[in-house]
């Protein structure tokens, strides 16, 4: 049975290194011979964010220098001779000895630890120091604004007042690390992800698993400015029990198609998407933009079957598929997180898509996607 142990510095360092590398709590616990709950508690205390590594100031006395002072004092040497030997000012040595029990009680290790402890002067974060800024950020979070949106808005709204600006990273850190004491824990519930701490980077993240992927930067300009219909964005909407459906959104009209999937196997996904895309007229089959998920590894098969090129977003850049991301958020009204998506038939998915496609959208001037798509297709004939 594991005993309750104190954390050694090398163990703390290894914990955060493993967490950053994407290891799970259980894996880290096994490696460090700790209870998984002890690992989780440690991570939760810091919001999943590795604390800054403390470094000794170059001007401060080192442990080796303090040991030299201790030995010299034991031999009866004067403070000035100690200062000359260490190439330090006599006043520096005098203050050091006086601060740590004088010439008769000076001990190097004790003095070094006390100096290290005394040097810790935690600085309040910006949100804790500025109550007005704290209040504005909290109000925006309650309105379901993301930290990125809040930061950008503050920069524009208070262009002449730097005290009213804060980075999105600071907002995240203040939410995840409650010890900062600026933003209430309840505000975490207003984040889109609702995470209680920063997640580790899982192995395989980063987009290297897609072979011969064509970058979104090579996508035609007409797709970028939404001038021509037929350019689509795609992704998987995930549910409970490892179930998912594919979502396709036409960039110009925001028209959505939902595709039932048996699993995330790339070949199966490619076939299911191709079957739906081939039902579209040729003028609506121009390109498809996807993220770096492995479910699209068979993108070449899809392109051969449909003559539709697939372009891939940059790693960790969901905003490059903004229309699709927004639509997936709307779909959560019909498919809440954790729900089993395998119980829905293709007919039911088509009914949900029809509801969205006939719903007026502000971004379309209060037209609906169906009307907008039909009008765009007619204009290209």
Q: Are residues 85 and 230 in the same domain?
A: no
- Judged against a pLDDT cut of 90, whether residue 6 lies above it is answered with no
Mean pLDDT of 289-298: 89
Q: What's the whole-model pTM score?
A: 0.49
Q: Are residues 234 and 305 in the same domain?
A: yes
Mean pLDDT of 45-60: 75
229-272 tens-digit pLDDT: 999 999 999 888 889 999 999 999 999 999 999 888 889 999 99
Averaged pLDDT of the chain:
84
What's the pLDDT band for 27 if we cut at 50, 70, 90?
Answer: confident
Q: What is the pLDDT of residue 263?
A: 87
Cα(248)–Cα(143) distance, integer angstroms: 28
- Judged against a pLDDT cut of 90, whether residue 293 lies above it is answered with no
Domain of residue 329, residue span: 214-379
Q: Are residues 103 and 134 in the same domain?
A: no
Structural domain contains residue 198: no
Q: Are residues 242 and 341 in the same domain?
A: yes
Structural domain count, the chain: 4
161-186 tens-digit pLDDT: 888 888 888 888 777 776 556 677 67
Q: What is the pLDDT of residue 119?
A: 75
Cα(58)–Cα(320) distance, integer angstroms: 45
Q: Are residues 285 and 159 in the same domain?
A: no
Q: Are residues 131 and 251 in the same domain?
A: no
Question: By percentage, how much of the chain surpasses pLDDT 90?
Answer: 33
76-126 tens-digit pLDDT: 899 999 899 999 999 999 999 999 988 888 999 998 888 888 877 666 777
Cα(90)–Cα(171) distance, integer angstroms: 46
Residue closest to 94 by CA, chosen among 73, 116, 79: 79
Cα(252)–Cα(151) distance, integer angstroms: 28
């Amino acid at each position: 049975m594991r005993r309750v142990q104190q954390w050694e510095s090398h163990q703390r360092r290894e914990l955060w290194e493993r967490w950053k590398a994407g290891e799970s709590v259980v894996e880290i616990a096994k490696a460090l011979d700790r209870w998984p709950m002890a690992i989780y508690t440690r991570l939760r205390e810091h919001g999943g964010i590795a604390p800054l590594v403390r470094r000794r100031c170059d001007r401060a006395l080192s442990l080796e220098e303090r040991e030299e002072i201790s030995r010299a004092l034991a031999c009866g040497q004067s403070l000035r001779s100690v200062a000359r030997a260490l190439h330090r000012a006599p006043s520096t040595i005098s203050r050091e000895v006086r601060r740590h029990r004088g010439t008769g009680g000076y001990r190097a290790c004790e003095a070094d630890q006390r100096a290290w402890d005394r040097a810790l002067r935690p600085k309040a974060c910006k949100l804790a120091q500025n109550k007005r800024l704290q209040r504005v950020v909290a109000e925006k979070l309650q309105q379901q604004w993301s930290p990125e949106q809040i930061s950008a808005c503050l920069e524009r709204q208070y262009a002449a007042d730097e005290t009213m600006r804060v980075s999105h990273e600071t907002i995240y850190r203040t939410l995840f690390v409650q010890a900062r004491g600026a933003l209430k824990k309840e505000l975490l519930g207003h984040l889109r992800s609702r995470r209680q701490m920063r997640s580790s980077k899982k192995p395989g993240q980063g987009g290297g698993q897609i072979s011969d992927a064509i970058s979104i930067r090579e996508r035609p300009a007409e797709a970028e400015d939404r001038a021509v219909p037929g350019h689509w964005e795609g992704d998987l909407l995930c549910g409970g029990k490892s179930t998912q459906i594919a979502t396709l959104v036409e960039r110009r009209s925001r028209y959505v198609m939902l595709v039932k999937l048996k699993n995330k196997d790339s070949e199966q996904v490619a076939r299911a998407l191709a079957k739906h895309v081939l039902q579209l007229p040729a003028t609506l089959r121009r390109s498809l933009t996807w993220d770096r998920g492995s479910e699209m590894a068979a993108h070449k098969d899809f392109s051969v079957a449909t003559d539709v090129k697939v372009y891939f977003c940059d790693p960790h850049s969901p905003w490059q598929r903004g229309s699709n991301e927004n639509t997936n958020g709307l779909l959560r009204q019909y498919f809440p997180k954790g729900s089993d998506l395998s119980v829905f038939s293709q007919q039911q998915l088509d009914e949900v898509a029809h509801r969205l496609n006939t719903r007026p959208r502000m971004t379309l001037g209060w037209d609906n996607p169906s009307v907008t798509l039909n009008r765009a297709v007619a204009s290209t004939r």
